[in-house]
Amino acid sequence: MRETRRFLVLLLVITLMLFISVELASLRLAGANASVIELPPMSLTVVAVNGTQVVLNGTDIAGLSFYRGFGGYKNQLGMMKGLGNYTGVRISAICSLVGGLTNTSIVSVVAADDYSRAFSFAEVNGDFTTYNTVTGEEVAHSELIVPMIAYYFNDADVGPTDGPLRVAIASPEGLATNSSYWVKQVIRIEITDVTIAEFPTLLILPLPFIVASIAIFIGRTTKRRHRED
């Protein structure tokens, strides 16, 4: 009898463990399905320094690693606007699709109406002036500032007025940035390089001799005029 009871108890324990395992697997599957991003029709063209282009649609963008954070902007009147949670793809991650950036890169974000805003390499990597969202006063930030191409605002589509894609700048601290960076209806990202070509050394070497020759010529001309006078 005791052995039979032990066997039944063991069988019950095994059955419960199997049931719990199945339920946990179902929950994980449900969670994975819930995290699938479905975006409205959209198109984003990314242009590298060498002219290489990549055109991303909604499915492509949804498949990229995303960032979610709180942000907003301070407009020209000093008012706080667009405060909320934004979800999107880091601008740096999008640029990496066409070779990435160097410290001399400039990233131009272009809107559907051809408005363009240039971001420096430092800005793409989070170098922004930040503001308190309540007082509007400039405050220092200690957490990473993330400029992104956002497709969700407060977990809903950005919408046709500002989107379907727009620039958003968010951070764990939830600070605001200047409104001039928050480009709406983004359709294109272009990467250029501001490297200044070195002045040819062969032209630099004779410069002192040229300057000296000009000075001698002016001096002789001046003396000649004095003699003639």
Q: What is the pLDDT of residues 35-46, one digit of tens each?
A: 567 899 999 999
What is the total count of domains within the chain? Answer: 2
CB atoms < 10 A from the CB of 132, how many?
Answer: 15
Position 51 in a domain: yes
Confidence of residue 227 (pLDDT cuts 50, 70, 90): very low
**CATH number of the CATH domain containing 59:** 3.90.420.10
123 belongs to a structural domain: yes
Examine residue 118 and state whether it is found in any structural domain, yes or no. yes
Do 47 and 189 meet the contact criterion of CB atoms below 8 Å apart?
yes
* pLDDT-above-90 percentage for the chain: 64
Residue 54 lies in a domain: yes
**Mean pLDDT, to the nearest integer, of 63-86?**
95
Higher pLDDT, 138 or 28: 138
Is the predicted pLDDT of residue 113 greater than 50, yes or no? yes
Statement to judge: residues 77 and 125 lie in one domain: yes
Tens of pLDDT along 132-174? 999 999 999 888 899 999 999 999 999 999 999 999 999 998 9
50 & 94 share domain: yes
- The residue type found at 29 is L
Give yes or no: residues 62 and 99 share one domain. yes
- 111 and 4 fall within a common domain: no
Indicate whether 84 belongs to any domain: yes
Lowest pLDDT segment from 34-43, 63-72, 124-133, 176-185: 34-43
Percent of the chain with pLDDT over 70: 69
Same domain, 32 and 48: no
The answer on 137 and 102 residing in a single domain is yes
**pLDDT above 50: residue 34:** no
31 plus 47 within the same structural domain: no
210: in domain = no
Domain range for 31 is 1-36
Q: Identify which has the larger pLDDT, 2 or 60.
A: 60
Q: Say yes or no: 11 and 52 in one domain.
A: no
At residue 221, what are phi and psi to the nearest 5 degrees? -65, -40
Give residue 25's pLDDT band: very low, low, confident or very high (50, 70, 90).
very low
Structure tokens at 81: 């606007």
User: Do 6 and 103 belong to one domain?
Assistant: no
How far is Cα 53 from Cα 137, in angstroms, rounded to an integer? 40
Question: Would you say residue 156 lies in a domain?
Answer: yes
Beta-carbon contacts of 112 under 8 Å, excluding residues fewer than 6 positions away, are 185, 187
Same domain (yes/no): 114, 14: no
Whether residue 200 is contained in a domain is answered as no
pLDDT value at position 120?
95
pLDDT of residue 142: 85
Higher pLDDT among residues 221 and 229, named by residue: 221
The closest alpha carbon to 111, from 155, 149, 156, belongs to 149
Q: Determine the 3-state secondary structure of 168 from DSSP.
A: strand
What is the C-alpha separation between 58 and 157, in angstroms, rounded? Answer: 12
DSSP state of 121: H
